[in-house]
Amino acid sequence: MSGYTADEKLRMEQLIKLRRQWLKDQELSAREPVIQPKAAGAIERFWANFLQPKSMWRLYTYKAYTGGVFALTRLLIPAWVVHYYVKYHVAKRPYGIVELKPRLFPGDTILETGEVVPDLPESHGHH
């Protein structure tokens, strides 16, 4: 005896039909999934509105960001570099940069103010 019996053939056909139906049922229609939208919180509503294309918040934030990047990279950092170079490498003005203050003794003249350093008061007995 070779092959399936009539009962086995019927059972196989039923299983194949059920499997095909199950696979067909797994396909979603255009209306599915039917899930009720949950109410958005305050922060979620803010970000949903904020991230809309062409919204005013988004445009002004972008303008502020690009303006800030321009000011930082094209104005502030180059100005700082130029200031540093001029201050520490180009300036020829005397006492513009004081590495070590000169010692002052009684009778010396202070160059910036023209004052003369007075003599120290004489003190007796205290050493």
pLDDT along the chain (127 residues), means of 10: 87 96 91 83 86 83 94 96 84 63 84 87 71
Domain-located, residue 98: no
Question: Which residues share a beta bridge with 109?
Answer: 116
- Which pLDDT score, from 0 to 100, does residue 72 have? 95
In this prediction, residue 74 carries a pLDDT of 96
Residue 76 is predicted with a pLDDT of 96
Q: What sign does the dihedral 84-90-92-97 (CA atoms) show?
A: positive
Return the pLDDT at 102. 74
Residue 80 lies in a domain: yes
pLDDT at 95: 55
Instruction: Give the pLDDT score at 17.
Output: 97
pLDDT of residue 87: 80
Does residue 124 fall inside a structural domain? no
pTM listed for this prediction: 0.37
Is residue 69 assigned to a domain?
A: yes
Establish if 127 belongs to a structural domain. no
C-alpha neighbours within 13 Å on the C-beta side of residue 118:
3
Q: Identify the CA nearest to 4 among candidates 76, 16, 13, 25.
A: 13
- Does a structural domain hold residue 112? no
The whole-number pLDDT of residue 16 equals 96
Residue numbers of the domain that contains 78: 53-92
* Direct distance between the N- and C-terminal alpha carbons of the chain, in angstroms, rounded to an integer: 132
